[in-house]
A and B are shown apart, each in its own frame.
Chain A
Amino acid sequence: MVESPDTDWTDVRLHVVTGKGGTGKTTVAAALALALAAGGRKVLLVEVEGRQGIAQIFDLPPLPYEERKVAVAPSGGDVYALAVDPEEAMLEYIEMFYGMRRAGRALTKMGIVDFATTVAPGFRDVLVTGKTTEAVRRRGKNGRRIYDAVVLDAPPTGRIARFLNVTQEVAGLAKVGPIKNHSELVNGVVKSRETAVHLVTLLEEMPVQETLDGIGELRSAGLPTGCIFINMVRDSLLPQAALDTAVKARFDPGELVLGLKAAGVADGAQAVAMAEALAEEVAEHAHRTELERAERESLAGAGLKSYDLPLLADGVDLAGLYELAESIRTQGAA
């Protein structure tokens, strides 16, 4: 293990990443894992929804229920990944705590595990969060933690408070007994200072609203909020003065006509028509920039630290993932 670098989240060992569908939650979780691993650390990236999103992002065949190395971080450091399957987690749990391997298999074969986790999703959540927190707590022979950090690609914002608030969820179902005890163990990790729940959003109305609602829910459940990752941020290419005039519909295409002619792109009437069409694009861009600014202000009201992640021009591929990880690191988030 390497000394923890001085970052905004140095004390955090469990990074839970949530976000509304379509905001790039899995991508950000993967990039964060890469960033945290940079410089020779060992990080586990966990997925719980059975979508095999991690495998897709790292361009790998579907991941089995096993911790396996998926990437090497910049300047050394390893990212391991695990796709948690509730059934497998149940078997492991039964074996680990009760030494009942055969009974566990029988339970699965008869569909009882499936049944129990389906009629009571709280059970399912306890199993997957249980597996995740176990990885956070796990220590090697030297007494040190096996993983420097664990990143959980969690369910979407709408479900996150419920998902993490496992003791609450199983309280009505199991007032005493092993499930209850297990959920309290999980709870101890999830609500500690070692955990932070990060929210991924875009600068659009619905994701921002959902992020703010999610932060409210996390807070009232006593869950530790982390930061906001503002994803797919576009570079502001135009000078503010140009944007201001464009927003007021006073952008003058005359300057563009001259520029287009100078660049040899168009001439005469063609240059005028093209300048007008481009001016329309500028107006749209300016309008959107205004809206984004308003969304940014709403987010600021939540009082959490936020980091911008750039929009990747070529979509998300491996190179893009490293680019995002770099951006996370230079901003001090990892």
Chain B
Amino acid sequence: MKKPARLDIDAILDDSGTRIVVCCGAGGVGKTTTAAALGLRAAERGRCVVVLTVDPARRLAQSMGLTELDNTPRLVSSPEGGGQLFAMMLDMKRTFDEIIEAHADPARARQILSNPFYQSLSSSFSGTQEYMAMEKLGQLRRSDEWDLIIVDTPPSRSALDFLDAPERLGRFLDGRVIRLLTAPAKAGGRNAFRLLNAGFGLVAGAMTKLLGAQVIKDLQTFVSALDAVFGGFRQRADMTYKLLQAPGTAFLVVAAPERDAMREASYFVERLAEERMPLAGLVVNRVHVAPASKLSAARSAAAAEDLDSRGEHELTAAVLRLHAGRMQLMAREGREQEHFTSAHPTVPVVRVRAMSEDVHDLTGLRQIGDLLASA
């Protein structure tokens, strides 16, 4: 098997040129834990760090002293050596409201904030969380209060949503639909689609019939009110996108040694290359190890069978079977990683062995940090 280069985590964290680390990957692979562990390690190595997280598991949040979504970085730890660790949980609706407030005059802002479509969009549009995470990242970076920002991406349907969400939202806000919906309102006509041509008339009739007149009216009010802040939206999204491409950013793709997670990781690596986003490497979490790895699965299973047939040493036979199962699991995990490396031979990799327990405190995070750096 071709061995991938080792991913040097400390070199990334110690480089004062590194200003942003983005942890991305499929759901359930330990992204948030990795982000928090990296944050603690960087702080203990003297950096002033903020970890931006989206919906962490309760106990992990508690391990960093986070109890609620408040959109404000909280000090978690100030280790010796001058470093500091802050953490914050993203409140996506609050972040969205703030953008509206920043870009619209107070009357218009009120109009937007109270519209039912805005409320739906800001609290449940599947890309809003991703977009707002990136927006918050941009804000933290521009504030320049921290010299390192570590962000974990939201657990989306697709791990790539955070790259696509700003674009998708932008498309809606600029598109022809908006023109269709805003034109009559601007013309001030009561008949919403009066000024439009026959094709539009057909569509308008259908929409009214399907959605009901009130929905159309709410949608129009929403869209025309939002019209004023579109420019700002676009501009901010573009700025954040450029920030992600900048040399001070390092993307870490996080995975577990399972087929789906590794497939997602592969896809992600390709996508980052397409977008010219700087990939630092792959973190493979939850890799199983066996202290008795010299004893192969086949040999172990055969020995167990032999003992069984002789009716001797039941306990040893059971232990050997347990070991054989573990070796099989390791072999499967190894194959998944080999597939990745043969497709992406230049991507540095670090493996973190499976822990028997979830992380509950800073000690646990520190231990993960050590594993990340030493593996």
User: What residues of A have a CB within 8 angstroms of the CB of B261 in the complex?
Assistant: 22
B116-127 CB contact bits vs A (8 Å, 1 = yes)?
110111001111
User: What residues of B have a CB within 8 angstroms of the CB of A242 in the complex?
Assistant: 315, 318
User: In the assembled complex, how far is the CB of residue B107 from the closest CB belonging to chain A, in whole angstroms?
Assistant: 22
Residue of A nearest to B300 (CB): A265
Is A61's beta carbon under 8 Å from chain B?
no
User: In the assembled complex, how far is the CB of residue A55 from the closest CB belonging to chain B, in whole angstroms?
Assistant: 14
The segment out of A3-11, A33-41, A102-110, A186-194 that lies at the interface is A102-110
Q: A237-B321, A281-B323 are in contact. Are A174 and B168 (CB under 8 A)?
A: no
The segment out of B4-12, B185-193, B206-214, B337-345 that lies at the interface is B206-214
Is A206's beta carbon under 8 Å from chain B?
yes
Q: A21-B28, A262-B307, A278-B292 are in contact. Are A172 and B202 (CB under 8 A)?
A: no
Is B231's beta carbon under 8 Å from chain A?
no
User: What residues of B have a CB within 8 angstroms of the CB of A100 in the complex?
Assistant: 206, 209
B206 and A107 within 8 A (CB)? yes
A177 and B120 within 8 A (CB)? no
Is B218's beta carbon under 8 Å from chain A?
yes
Is B68's beta carbon under 8 Å from chain A?
no
B316 and A260 within 8 A (CB)? yes
Which secondary structure dominates where chain A touches chain B?
Answer: helix
Is A1's beta carbon under 8 Å from chain B?
no
Q: A115-B177, A263-B306 are in contact. Are A106 and B206 (CB under 8 A)?
A: yes
Is A173's beta carbon under 8 Å from chain B?
yes
Is A226's beta carbon under 8 Å from chain B?
no
B284-295 CB contact bits vs A (8 Å, 1 = yes)?
000000111011
Residue of A nearest to B223 (CB): A119
State in angstroms the CA–CA spacing of A104 and B117 once bound together. 22
A177 and B57 within 8 A (CB)? no
User: What residues of A have a CB within 8 angstroms of the CB of B272 in the complex?
Assistant: none
A262 and B312 within 8 A (CB)? yes
Q: A110-B177, A119-B172, A264-B303 are in contact. Are A98 and B202 (CB under 8 A)?
A: no
Residue of B nearest to A155 (CB): B157
User: What residues of B have a CB within 8 angstroms of the CB of A284 in the complex?
Assistant: 356
Is A282's beta carbon under 8 Å from chain B?
yes
User: What residues of A have a CB within 8 angstroms of the CB of B256 in the complex?
Assistant: 22
User: What residues of A have a CB within 8 angstroms of the CB of B180 in the complex?
Assistant: 110, 112
User: In the assembled complex, how far is the CB of residue B102 from the closest CB belonging to chain A, in whole angstroms?
Assistant: 21
The segment out of B86-94, B132-140, B325-333 that lies at the interface is B325-333
The segment out of A128-136, A139-147, A285-293, A301-309 that lies at the interface is A285-293
B259 and A315 within 8 A (CB)? yes
Q: A49-B157, A179-B215, A242-B318 are in contact. Are A173 and B116 (CB under 8 A)?
A: yes
User: In the assembled complex, how far is the CB of residue A275 from the closest CB belonging to chain B, in whole angstroms?
Assistant: 9
Is A323's beta carbon under 8 Å from chain B?
no
Is A331's beta carbon under 8 Å from chain B?
no
B290 and A281 within 8 A (CB)? yes
CB-contact partner of B214 in A50, A175, A210, A259, under 8 A? A175
B319 and A256 within 8 A (CB)? yes
A121 and B26 within 8 A (CB)? no
Q: A179-B210, A262-B313 are in contact. Are A291 and B356 (CB under 8 A)?
A: yes
Is B299's beta carbon under 8 Å from chain A?
yes
User: What residues of B have a CB within 8 angstroms of the CB of A285 in the complex?
Assistant: 322
User: What residues of A have a CB within 8 angstroms of the CB of B28 in the complex?
Assistant: 20-23, 206-207
Residue of A nearest to B206 (CB): A103
State in angstroms the CA–CA spacing of A315 and B315 once bound together. 27
Can you add 10 more A-B contacts, CB < 8 Å, to A110-B177, A121-B120, A177-B212?
A: A103-B205, A119-B219, A120-B120, A179-B211, A238-B318, A239-B318, A262-B316, A263-B316, A265-B300, A274-B295
Is A277's beta carbon under 8 Å from chain B?
yes
Is A318's beta carbon under 8 Å from chain B?
no
Residue of B nearest to A103 (CB): B206
User: What residues of A have a CB within 8 angstroms of the CB of B177 in the complex?
Assistant: 110-112, 115
User: What residues of A have a CB within 8 angstroms of the CB of B310 in the complex?
Assistant: 262
State in angstroms the CA–CA spacing of A21 and B25 once bound together. 12
State in angstroms the CA–CA spacing of A122 and B218 once bound together. 15
Q: A256-B315, A259-B317 are in contact. Are A22 and B27 (CB under 8 A)?
A: yes
User: What residues of B have a CB within 8 angstroms of the CB of A121 in the complex?
Assistant: 120, 124-126
State in angstroms the CA–CA spacing of A103 and B315 once bound together. 72
State in angstroms the CA–CA spacing of A298 and B294 once bound together. 38
User: In the assembled complex, how far is the CB of residue A279 from the closest CB belonging to chain B, in whole angstroms?
Assistant: 8
B203 and A112 within 8 A (CB)? yes
User: In the assembled complex, how far is the CB of residue A181 from the closest CB belonging to chain B, in whole angstroms?
Assistant: 10
CB within 8 Å of B: which of A12-62?
A: 20-23, 49-51
Q: A21-B27, A21-B155, A274-B295 are in contact. Are A98 and B119 (CB under 8 A)?
A: no
B29 and A115 within 8 A (CB)? no
User: What residues of A have a CB within 8 angstroms of the CB of B259 in the complex?
Assistant: 315
Q: List 30 A-B contacts (CB under 8 A).
A: A20-B27, A22-B27, A22-B260, A23-B28, A49-B157, A106-B199, A111-B175, A122-B120, A158-B155, A162-B124, A172-B116, A173-B218, A175-B214, A177-B213, A177-B215, A178-B209, A178-B211, A179-B215, A237-B318, A238-B318, A239-B315, A242-B318, A256-B315, A259-B307, A263-B306, A265-B300, A277-B290, A280-B291, A280-B292, A282-B322
User: What residues of B have a CB within 8 angstroms of the CB of A174 in the complex?
Assistant: 211-212, 214-215
CB-contact partner of A259 in B29, B209, B315, under 8 A? B315
A116 and B209 within 8 A (CB)? no
Is B2's beta carbon under 8 Å from chain A?
no
Is B59's beta carbon under 8 Å from chain A?
yes
Q: A120-B121, A263-B306, A278-B319 are in contact. Are A21 and B26 (CB under 8 A)?
A: yes
User: In the assembled complex, how far is the CB of residue A32 from the closest CB belonging to chain B, in whole angstroms?
Assistant: 19
B120 and A119 within 8 A (CB)? yes
User: What residues of A have a CB within 8 angstroms of the CB of B199 in the complex?
Assistant: 106
Is A118's beta carbon under 8 Å from chain B?
yes
Q: A120-B117, A174-B214, A237-B318 are in contact. Are A204 and B358 (CB under 8 A)?
A: yes
User: In the assembled complex, how far is the CB of residue A201 from the closest CB belonging to chain B, in whole angstroms?
Assistant: 12
Is A258's beta carbon under 8 Å from chain B?
yes
CB-contact partner of A263 in B125, B155, B157, B307, under 8 A? B307
User: What residues of B have a CB within 8 angstroms of the CB of A287 in the complex?
Assistant: 356
User: What residues of B have a CB within 8 angstroms of the CB of A180 in the complex?
Assistant: 212
Is B271's beta carbon under 8 Å from chain A?
no
